Amino acid sequence: MEIRATIERFLEHLDVERNFSDQSLRAYAGDLKQFAEFCDSRAITGLAQVEHLNLRAWLAQLSEHGYERRTIARKLASVRSLFRFLHRRGEISENPARMLRTPKLARNLPNFLDEQQVNALLSAPDTATWSGVRDKAILELLYATGLRVSELVRLELSDIHLARGSLRAFGKGRKERILPLLPAAIESVQAWLGVRAKPPRARGQAIAPGVENVFINQRGTKLTDRSVRRLIDAYVQQAALSCHVTPHTLRHSFATHLLNHGADLRDVQELLGHAHLATTQVYTHVSTARMLDVYERAHAGGKKSA
């Protein structure tokens, strides 16, 4: 019980003091619950009893159960944060997680759409319908701003400033950033706000009381990130795109296309809301890989014509 009570206190710290998103809190809670169950299996009743060897045994168990390295690395980060929190507060004298190494990860390049594929996707919604107008605005915003899907569904009416051509987003840790809106996105959002007030399946076609979210469903309640993923799946099929597309694919496409057109890396970092430049630098690898691919194909064609 002591371990779970400590974990609850740590999660409250992440929520109240660190302003972690609901999604991050759920991930931490799941990882730490699993670690608590491991401690139970080893008759460890308090986190002060955990030693370096216990943590190594836990990592080995995760590997034996078939977890991928990326998942193990995330779970380790959760446990590492917990012990760092306890050590800083003087609740444990030594941090047993300090010397643990993160599993080496293969660096996968982000998946993105080319500009022709993006145009096909953005043209897919039927703007003669209420849902089509909404979905067009969703797709335009995801691509034009690089918003995370969690940021998109949290957007409220007060965050949108069409006259100024900007919106306010709250990223990880509730960090605020202001994003510019291009004319196509402004036009789509304007069209959506013109029909938003009459959701077709709501009682009396009225929005549920207290719902200030920009994007709502047909019943007049706030839209979920799962709903956004589903509607993207439908439009990918409609646009006959052969690749897997998620909301994050549009974020990757936004960053990659900016760099391809000469944007500064630090500007892209700011727009994406990345805390560290190294996170943004992966997109330079994408751009370089694409450039080399184009060069190699062009070079091969030149050899054939010679």
Amino acid at 152: L
Q: What is the largest CA-CA distance in the chain?
A: 76
Nearest Cα neighbor of 160 from 145, 139, 175 is: 145
- Please say whether the dihedral angle defined by the alpha carbons of residues 56, 36, 68 and 100, taken in this order, is positive or negative: negative
The strand order across the sheet containing 176-180 reads 160-161, 166-170, 176-180
- What is the rounded distance in angstroms from the CA atom of residue 283 to the CA atom of residue 255? 7
Give the active site residues.
148, 172, 248, 251, 274, 283
Q: How many CB atoms lie within 10 A of CB 240?
A: 8
Q: Are 144 and 185 in contact (CB under 8 A)?
A: yes
Query: What 3-state DSSP class applies to 178?
Result: strand
Gap between the terminal Cα atoms of the chain: 76
* Per-residue tokens: 189: 């959002």
What tokens does 124 get?
């897919």
